[in-house]
A and B are shown apart, each in its own frame.
Chain A
Amino acid sequence: MSESPLPLRVLIVDDEAPARDRMRDLLSDCGKELPLSLVGEAAGARAALDLLGRSAADVVLLDIRMPEMDGIELAQHLLKLEPPPAVVFTTAYDAYAIKAFEVHAVDYLLKPIRLARLKEALARVREAAPPGLETLREMQRAPRTHLSAQERGKVHLIPIEEVVYLKAELKYVTVRTPKREFLIEESLLRLEEEYAERFVRVHRNCLVARAAIRGFERDTVEEGETHWVVLLDGISDRIAVSRRQQHVVREISRG
């Protein structure tokens, strides 16, 4: 085995300050045998991604139960980083998650964490591949709270409630919010399944947020042929309703 000369760069993500303190203490105890450098600490997903945008980490110690976004979802967004860091989940008690970890052979640490277990997990990290997207998806209990887009090495979080529509274009999906657009590499069909309640399909290539629909209008395209378009809150884009999805107009207009 080749000794790694570079210290392992570690990021702590936990919403509870005492838990972060404890982890820091343990890491400094580990440091005597295992070369480590602490990249930073984050109390939530957004802070974690901000930090990682500035300085890369080899491993993220990730709490599962956190407000706004849980660890399992954050791990999926972390996969967009180049290269994605390894993830070790931490939890005090979460019967459901623990079972899922066992099933998928994902590494996790139980709080209170033992020094020996932490050392073991960190020692394994370099060889182990991060948990795959499919695995994390399967463990996800509810639709993700955010979508994420990678731009110039940084991962942007897009709160799902800000999304007005999702439009498939070639191999990307355009995510439209009132402020701007993002490109993400996901399948529209999958997004439709995940957010069945939030979005409605108005066209083969487009999902529109139900809450953002202001109304429908008849529009004339070439040669006097008319079709419906969706009018949206906050933005002036007009989304065409395809012939096959015309029933949506009736369903939504009726309320």
Chain B
Amino acid sequence: MARSINQNAYSSALPNFRNLGILFRILVAVNVFAAAAALVKAGDARMLWEELLEISAVVQPLLIASLLALVVLNDILRRLPYAFGLAAVFALEMTLTAVLYGAGKSFHAAEFAALPRYWVLVALATAVLLFYFHLRGRALSPALSEARLQALQARIRPHFLFNSINAVLSLIRQDPRRAEAALEDMADLFRVFMADNRELAPLAREVELCRQYLELEQLRLGERLKVEWHVEKMPSDALIPPLVLQPLLENAVYHGIEPRVEPGVVSINIYRARDQVHAVLRNPYQQQGGHHAGNKMALANIRERLQLHFDAEASLTAKVGAQEYQVHIVIPYVKEARA
């Protein structure tokens, strides 16, 4: 099953409980509830601390147990139809509450209220959170983000298109075979540019695409463009959003190579570090070359797409050095067809 953000199309889905961003949101929300409850119960400032401790003693074990259970059961829960998934989450919470209630009661019996009261509170918190995730899912869901993603994708630089066509035209008479190869590369590139790129695709494919793209640029720029690949250690099967690296290389060529008279090196370094895939792209950079607005927009686009796919687990950082520009992308290592 290919993982994508339009999974389950338009219908609602449970959030991915293995995503750090989701877990973090739950953690914060529940603690805010707890603090609010303490604030209501406490008569004065002195009491507030005690109330907070008391509530925490009840809330935190349940919270941690719930998160653990959700992480473990994530795949099963998310494979259920949404309604069953919801029911399962409620059932899970009720059960955990009952179990922890039983365990807690044997420690200090006196301080506990009746079980149904906890049930009601837990059910309420669960409902609020699930409703929040439902709304959030909507906001990021295909209905809205489809348009957004499409807008993000439709950013192939016309500059590149027309210059490439021109370069191919120049080859037709002198070197028809190279012209053929170049047109084949262009066809492949534009097939991807125009495809529905919402599904994640293997890293190897994106790298292949980047090679074809740079091949075309080399046609135009000749010796001025030098490319260094360091991808021997990359996890080829990692899944990434398509067209994340290619636009960055396009930037590197446009801002780093084209404004230079002397040859320049674009380097691509992709490797895996534990559960993360890192991609580091470097290109020469001179302070004076304008066009920053375009570059920032491209970066913002890619950042947004990474976020739509991976939430807080992916990052993109750009660094401007004295002579060099560097973009560093980190995404979680997700393989195809994982169980």
What is the interface of chain A, defined by CB distance below 8 A to chain B? 16-19, 21-22, 25, 44, 65, 67-68, 92-94, 110-113, 141-142
- Interface size of B by Cβ–Cβ distance < 8 Å? 23
Smallest Cβ distance from B70 to chain A, in angstroms? Answer: 50
Name the one of B174, B219, B222, B258 contacting A65, with C-beta atoms under 8 angstroms: B258
11 CB contacts below 8 A, A to B, read: A16-B220, A16-B221, A18-B219, A22-B166, A67-B261, A92-B162, A93-B157, A93-B158, A93-B162, A110-B162, A112-B162
Interface positions of B from 136 to 176, Cβ below 8 Å from A: 157-159, 161-163, 165-167, 169-171, 173-174
What is the interface of chain B, defined by CB distance below 8 A to chain A? 157-159, 161-163, 165-167, 169-171, 173-174, 219-222, 258-261, 290
In the bound complex, do residue B261 and residue A16 qualify as a contact, i.e. CB atoms below 8 Å apart? no
For B171, what are the chain A residues with a Cβ–Cβ distance below 8 Å? 18
In the bound complex, do residue B170 and residue A92 qualify as a contact, i.e. CB atoms below 8 Å apart? no
In the bound complex, do residue B169 and residue A22 qualify as a contact, i.e. CB atoms below 8 Å apart? yes
Smallest Cβ distance from A98 to chain B, in angstroms? Answer: 11
Query: Does more than half of chain A's interface fall in helix, strand or loop, or is it mixed?
Result: loop
Name the one of A18, A68, A94, A142 contacting B166, with C-beta atoms under 8 angstroms: A18
For A94, what are the chain B residues with a Cβ–Cβ distance below 8 Å? 159
Name the one of B165, B220, B259 contacting A67, with C-beta atoms under 8 angstroms: B259
In the bound complex, do residue B260 and residue A67 qualify as a contact, i.e. CB atoms below 8 Å apart? yes
Smallest Cβ distance from A15 to chain B, in angstroms? Answer: 8
Given contact pairs A67-B258, A67-B261, A25 touches B170 in the complex (Cβ within 8 A): yes
In the bound complex, do residue B222 and residue A92 qualify as a contact, i.e. CB atoms below 8 Å apart? no
Name the one of A17, A92, A141, A142 contacting B159, with C-beta atoms under 8 angstroms: A92
Given contact pairs A111-B162, A112-B162, A68 touches B261 in the complex (Cβ within 8 A): yes
Give Cα distance in the complex from A94 to B254, angstroms. 13
In the bound complex, do residue A19 and residue B158 qualify as a contact, i.e. CB atoms below 8 Å apart? no
For A113, what are the chain B residues with a Cβ–Cβ distance below 8 Å? 166
Give Cα distance in the complex from A123 to B162, angstroms. 25
